[in-house]
Chain A
Amino acid sequence: MSETVLEARGVRRSFSVSGGFMKPRRALHAVRGVDFTIRRGEVVGLVGESGCGKSTLAKLLLGLMPPSEGEILLEGAPISGQDRLETARRIQPIFQDPYSSLNPRKSIGTIIGLPLRVQTDLGGAEIARRVTETMDLVGLPARVVDSYPNQLSGGQRQRVAIARALINRPSIIICDEPTSALDVSVQSQILNLLQDLQREFGLTYLLISHDLSVVEHMASRVAVMYLGRIVEERPTAGLFAEARHPYARALLDSVLTPDPSLGIPDTHLGAAFPNPLEIPAGCSFHPRCPKAMPRCCTVAPDPLRIGDGMVECLLHAPDQHDEPEEETTR
């Protein structure tokens, strides 16, 4: 097994949010104990719905905010003790919106070269050479080097973001919804590019997306997040063949493949809305779960390793209530 690039150990993050006018502040638990590793050369998908904590986890992994509890290790060493610049060199982000993630007042060449200017001692000529080389790599025409972001299309801007992330050869790239703001024909070009670059340079990606079709296409392993915890994690093929967690199952059922012979899927999820301010007791998914059992309301499931995957669901847990009875009958 190849070496671990990035690891989260028992990571938690809470925010204090306003409870409303004249009401006390409340704690929002965005990430509630995540253990997670990404190995070199891997593409790991992280999926979940809005409010599940996936973007907070991305910020924690990028070192943009410290976890309330737990540790993040980059190539074996805790991020917290490291130099900010050095961390930034080794973990690079690609964000969702290529309109707001590029400085509108800087030229494309300046944007792409910035990581080299702040992280290295390279001279101007060498930086310019590397910028040209990287632009060529991501399929940006050399003539846009002096253009500004507003002169580029959405797909081209996302290529700029990819070039900026790649230029200083990071250990891992965290892609937070890299194609959600793009049209399908542009999305496919960006996905093809990310895949080519990954193969050519053995890059490591964490791909955060709400689009399971995209994740299935790109990732070798998928982690499904619900209300701040990873509820299932498995190699992609296994998960898509048969998800173990009812939430992962519902997510997969909700994928609308373009097949007009099929109707709208029924996910059998209740109308309850997952609210990170009021996380239900027991299994946090139980109010929406079609297979909820009485003890799901009180007992929080522990992560359970099955084969090459992990699932956090009482349906798969050894039945604790029956154990004493079995002992007496034996």
Chain B
Amino acid sequence: MAEQVLEVEGLSVDIPVTGGMLHPVQEVSLTVARGETLAIVGESGCGKSLTSLSLMGLLPSRAERRARRLSLLGEELAGKSERAMSDIRGNRMSMIFQEPMTSLNPAYTIGDQLAEPLERHTRLSRREVRERAVEMLERVGITAAASRLGQYPHQLSGGLRQRVMIAMALICNPDLLIADEPTTALDVTIQAQILHLMAELQREFHAGMILITHDLGVVARVADRVAVMYAGQIVETGTAAQIYGAPSHPYTRGLLSCIPIPGRSRPGEHLGAIPGVVPSLIGRMEGCHFADRCALVEPRCRKGDIALRDGSGSGHRYRCVLDPETPATQEAPA
């Protein structure tokens, strides 16, 4: 078995807000091995982005992070000081953000921004830094790389900017790469190219990757393993084949029924729907978080904490008291 890059157990985030304590991430446990892609999928507000930010130690200062275990290649990160974390960020673990226009600094050239992680984390000379930057730009498929170093982000197209972000994230050869909606802002044809590039580079750099996305199509094509998040919790986890082939949590099944699929969902037919809205995560919540929107809800769903249980195969787990055989036909509201 491949070496585990990241092991997380019982990760929770609390943020004090007016009206109480917000619990956007609750008891999240996950692992990522070398060369493996774990996709965290869910809708807005499910806690997927805060999970990734808390792994990077980038939470807002008033937020509190707790974890029983949070280790990068066996090294515990939970108690690390901000200074120690900044030695790790951008070096051993790095991140690609959704919007390359806002996450690149418009006032600095591409070359300056590519050089920054190398200057911070290595002792390379200026010439070596420049060579490495050009090499990395070429590696992510940017033509005329040397001339791009003097350009500013606004002079590049969205696809090129995202390639620059990827080059920046990989320039120090990280063990773990976290990509938060890396292709959401891109056109579909460019999305395919960027996903190709990321898969290729991940193999080459042999890094573990966490892909955060709401797009079930991207997840299916890219992920080895999937964690579905809903209202702060992982509600189902397993291999991509298990999640798409035998979805066992009513939320996962509802989500899959909502997407139109050319050739499969018949045009003119109703798509599936999940009625209701995501519950407020302020304060303590009892029972299943999905209970209010679930068509199969029973009285026992509302009692105590619902634990993850084993599903269809090894590693497949889901957070529901019902048996997966229960037919999950959620009626669309009229």
Q: Verify B271–A217 contact, CB threshold 8 A.
A: yes
Q: Mark A255-289, 1 if CB is under 8 A from B, else 0.
A: 11111111111110101010100000000000000
Q: Verify A266–B192 contact, CB threshold 8 A.
A: yes
Residues of chain B within 8 A (CB-CB) of A267 are: 189, 192-193
Residues of chain B within 8 A (CB-CB) of A260 are: 220-221, 223, 240-241, 243-245
Q: Mark B240-284, 1 if CB is under 8 A from A, else 0.
A: 110111000000001111111111110110111111010000000
Among B105-113, B155-163, B304-312, the stretch that binds chain A is B155-163
Q: Verify A254–B255 contact, CB threshold 8 A.
A: no
Q: How far does the Cβ of A266 sit from chain B's closest Cβ, in whole Å?
A: 7
Given contacts A217-B260, A217-B267, contact A256 B332 (CB under 8 A): no
Q: How many residues of A contact B (CB 8 A)?
A: 47
The one of A183, A211, A264, A269 in contact with B195, judged by C-beta atoms closer than 8 angstroms, is A264
Chain A residue nearest in CB terms to B264 = A257
Interface residues on B, range: 35 or more
Would you call B43 an interface residue if the criterion is a C-beta within 8 Å of the partner chain's C-beta atoms?
yes
The total of Cβ contacts below 8 Å across the A-B interface reads: 140
Chain A residue nearest in CB terms to B274 = A185
Q: Verify B44–A153 contact, CB threshold 8 A.
A: no
Given contacts A49-B187, A184-B259, A264-B199, contact A189 B277 (CB under 8 A): no
Q: Verify A189–B273 contact, CB threshold 8 A.
A: yes
Residues of chain A within 8 A (CB-CB) of B188 are: 49, 210-212, 251, 254-255
Chain A residue nearest in CB terms to B241 = A260
Q: Verify B221–A216 contact, CB threshold 8 A.
A: no
Q: Mark A185-217, 1 if CB is under 8 A from B, else 0.
A: 101110110011000000000000011111011
Residues of A231-273 at the interface with B, using a CB-CB cut-off of 8 Å, are 236-237, 240, 250-267, 269, 271, 273
- 5 residue pairs, one from A and one from B, having the closest CB atoms: A256-B217, A217-B260, A260-B240, A188-B258, A49-B187
| Chain A residues at the B interface, C-beta cutoff of 8 Å | 49-50, 139, 153, 183-185, 187-189, 191-192, 195-196, 210-214, 216-218, 236-237, 240, 250-267, 269, 271, 273, 275
Residue contacts A-B, CB under 8 angstroms, 10 given? A184-B216, A185-B273, A188-B259, A192-B271, A217-B271, A252-B262, A256-B218, A264-B196, A267-B192, A271-B159
Given contacts A188-B260, A192-B271, A259-B244, 8 further A-B contacts (CB under 8 A): A188-B273, A213-B259, A216-B267, A217-B265, A258-B219, A258-B220, A260-B243, A271-B141
